[in-house]
Amino acid sequence: MTPSISNSLTKRPAWHALEDHYQSMKDVHLRQLFAEDPQRGERFVAEAAGIYLDYSKNRITRETLRLLLRLADECQLREHITAMFKGEPINSTEQRPALHIALRAPRSEKIVVEGIDVVPEVHAVLDRMADFASKLRDGQWRGYTGQRIRNIVNIGIGGSDLGPVMAYEALRHYSLRDMNFRFISNVDGTDFAEATRAIAPEETLFIVCSKTFTTTETLENAHAARQWLLAKLKDSLAVSRHFVAVSTNTEEVSKFGIDTANMFGFWDWVGGRYSLDSAIGLSTMVAVGPDNFRAMLEGCHSMDQHFLTSPFDRNLPVLMGLLAVWYNNFFDAASIAVLPYEQYLKRFPAYLQQLTMESNGKHVTVGGVHVDYQTSPIIWGEPGTNGQHSFYQLIHQGTRLIPCDFIGFCQTLNPLGNHHDVLMANLFAQTEALAFGKTEDEVKAEGTPDWLCAHRSFEGNRPTNTLLLERLTPYSLGAMIALYEHSVFTQGTIWEIDSFDQWGVELGKALARRIITELDNPDETPFRHDSSTSALMRRYLRLKNAAA
Ligand code: F6P
């Protein structure tokens, strides 16, 4: 079947205007833009929910912005935002709303989905979580033998892991230090073995997080955890003191053997990668306490309101989303690097990978028609300054254009000598070097021999955003999470895709299920795969059995 191709986006007047405009911009250097407007660094900025966004070091002019904003209007971004906030079924292939904004709505708000105001339900779950988290934190909730719970192990994968682990690491400064928090996601025994090493079952609580409660990796790990616990405690009654579940699927939770009284629910209108603010964030709440967790939700909510109500030319998620489209579709930049100059944000790039790439890595429009343009960029990154000593070489002097988001904080949570000034000096220096570079003439003027000048020069003109915040707090983390969520939504809206489904993960899952059966019964079922896959499976079994 020949796929039909959607060219509705690339036929839009604003798109054509941007294509023409790109021709006039592609060779313009940031050096020139800053020379023409010495105040540029104070003009191309926007601020909301404690985040100061400097987007002046982007290859744009006022005209670029005007055209990108026109594109947003032609794509009816405002109407799409309103539809999301009203709980309309914008996740069209799964026919449901994408209503993570309701997870951080204050009690006073009303958000009606299919005739039901969901805000009271959201707060009822948050209150139960707070009660449970407080009992764990102050030692009221004890294990089966009466021991205090000292280890919290989150079992989950994808959004049921990346959100909790990212937020725990990000807010570790605010966490209870006499409890241990561990995370098991991979169906690789190593992950389980290392997470449960040297901890006592009688002091351990497992939080099994799975929206569907059918995810193979999570169920395998949850079964292993149950065995690990019972090997020591020898009584299945112990399970109810050491396991809680977070899921939308009550039936599967009870089939697994977790008492549904120990279950925290959420709703099918919360996507996995958007679920940190639901009960999926329980481990984070236990770590940092209910008040800090609620402060994180407040940060999200402030950004939500900013996204909903601010004019687009001052709207952080809209500006960042449109800049991502500008580089992705006109400069052909395939990736974006996210570079937090904050060690606590070490898992933030990994979290953003799922958020962005699972949301917008789609090749058909909401109408099921093939796109004739690129969709999601590849997201990657590491905390600064470590990245500077590994991959920044390519960003500075490689042949690819890699727009970067630099994230920094004015106050450190761990003052130590001159460290923070050195750290931030590096952030500022990198954005300056990337933008302005160093010409061969400048290099030569320093006395560099001719033969080395080309190697030592920097073209510059590498675009960056800088997000500068006062301090890493639960509130500021929440604001950043919502900022990126809404930037992803902005991009998905321009590209006319459903940012809330993830059909691309299904084929691999189905094939793996079949292969598991074949590997378990190699004599009964002949491998019915291509010659490469079958040969690999045979070799795997031969060598595995040889070791046995
Ligand atoms: O990888 C697909 C996916 O469905 C993600 O979207 C999701 O976050 C993850 O698997 C885990 O799903 P669940 O929470 O249902 O176990």
Is there an atom of ligand 1 within 6 Å of 249 CB? no
Q: Does ligand 1 come within 6 angstroms of the Cβ of 275?
A: no
Mean pLDDT of 186-191: 98
Given the residues 217, 358, 382, 485, select the one marked as catalytic.
358
| Residue type at 71 in one-letter notation | L
Give 353 Cα–ligand 1 centroid separation in angstroms.
Answer: 14
Q: Is the pLDDT of residue 474 over 90?
A: yes
Instruction: Tell me the percentage of the chain whose pLDDT exceeds 70.
Output: 99
Closest listed residue to residue 408, CA positions, set 389, 425, 390, 391: 425
Closest-CA residue, ligand 1 atom 3, reads 158
CA of 140 to the centre of ligand 1 (A): 32
Query: Which residue in the list 234, 389, 506, 524 is annotated as catalytic?
Result: 389
Instruction: Show the 3-state SS of 141-203.
Output: CECCCCCECCEEEEECCCHHHHHHHHHHHHCHHHCCCCCEEEEECCCCHHHHHHHHCCCCHHH
Say if CB 481 and CB 473 are below 8 A apart: no
Distance 156 CA to ligand 1 centre (A): 8
Q: In this model, does residue 4 exceed pLDDT 90? A: no
Is the pLDDT score of 167 beyond 80?
A: yes
Assess whether the C-beta atom of 502 lies below 6 angstroms from ligand 1.
Answer: yes
State the average pLDDT over residues 378-392: 97
Tell if the pTM clears 0.85, that is, is over it.
yes
Q: Determine if ligand 1 sits within 6 Å of the CB of residue 151.
A: no
Strand partners, 48: 51
Q: What is the pLDDT of residues 122-143, one digit of tens each?
A: 999 999 999 999 999 999 999 9
Instruction: Report the chain's terminal Cα–Cα distance, integer Å.
Output: 48
d(CA 447, CA 449): 6
Please determine, for residue 197, whether its predicted confidence score (pLDDT) is greater than 70: yes
Read off the pLDDT of each residue in 299-326 and give the average, rounded to a whole number: 99
Give per-residue pLDDT as tens, 519-544: 999 887 778 899 999 999 999 999 99
The answer to whether residue 358 is catalytic is yes
SS3 247: strand
pLDDT digits (tens, 9 = 90+) for 399-416: 999 999 999 999 999 999
Residue to mutate, 100, 211, 212, ligand 1, most ligand atoms under 8 Å from C-beta: 211
Q: How far apart are CA 280 and CA 287, in angstroms?
A: 13
Q: What pLDDT sits at residue 1?
A: 54
- The yes-or-no answer on residue 74 being catalytic is no
